[in-house]
């Protein structure tokens, strides 16, 4: 199967919302369409989908955010923040397509884009026990950053150089 990483289009949001709900609703971390769209629209140059040509099987939302700050899950983004850091807010691969290196493919695409756009750092919040994946991909934990309970138990703020 051939996969293409491309920018998000307006018609992609139904698929993105379904993927996000499947990944996060059970754990109480699903944000809903308005919040997701606001994050993708705040930074279209650093938000992508993974497309097979027939369907979307993954997505990534990343937006400029100052280091050690992060989106409030309870609200939509109100404006674009000028920052030399990029916050990888969400990366989801359809459950039936996991284990094929697709998350790393999206992550690599983001890292290359961040470098081209002159971002210095990429941060994220590892949720639902995903910190091992992120550590294996060069992200370092910052346990001193206290996160709100909305990110779930054992959430960890992490970052790396772009």
Residues in the chain: 162
Cβ atoms within 10 A of the Cβ of 15, count?
18
Q: In whole angstroms, what is the distance from residue 140 CA to residue 126 CA?
A: 11
pTM value is: 0.95
Q: In whole angstroms, what is the distance from residue 135 CA to residue 21 CA?
A: 25
Instruction: Work out the percent of the chain whose per-residue pLDDT is above 70.
Output: 100
Residue 62 tokens read as: 């990343």
Instruction: Dihedral sign for Cα 115, 59, 150, 96, please.
Output: negative
Instruction: Summarize pLDDT for 43-91 with one digit per residue, the tens.
Output: 999 999 999 999 999 999 999 999 999 999 988 998 778 899 999 999 9
Which domains, and CATH codes, for the chain?
Answer: 4-161 (3.40.630.30)
**CA-based end-to-end distance of the chain:** 29
């Amino acid at each position: 199967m051939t996969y293409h990483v491309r920018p998000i289009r307006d018609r992609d949001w139904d698929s993105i919302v379904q993927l996000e709900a499947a990944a996060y609703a059970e754990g109480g971390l699903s944000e809903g369409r308005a919040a997701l769209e606001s994050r993708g629209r705040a930074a279209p140059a650093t938000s992508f989908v993974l497309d097979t040509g027939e369907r979307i099987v993954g997505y990534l939302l990343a937006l400029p955010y100052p280091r050690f700050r992060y989106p409030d899950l309870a609200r939509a983004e109100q404006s674009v923040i000028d920052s030399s850091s990029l916050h990888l807010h969400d990366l989801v691969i359809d459950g039936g397509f996991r284990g094929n290196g697709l998350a790393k493919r999206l992550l690599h695409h983001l890292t290359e884009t961040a470098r081209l756009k002159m971002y210095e750092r990429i941060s994220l919040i590892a949720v639902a026990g995903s910190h091992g994946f992120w550590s294996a991909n060069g992200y370092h934990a910052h346990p001193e950053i206290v996160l709100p309970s909305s990110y779930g138990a054992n959430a960890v703020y992490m970052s790396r150089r772009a």
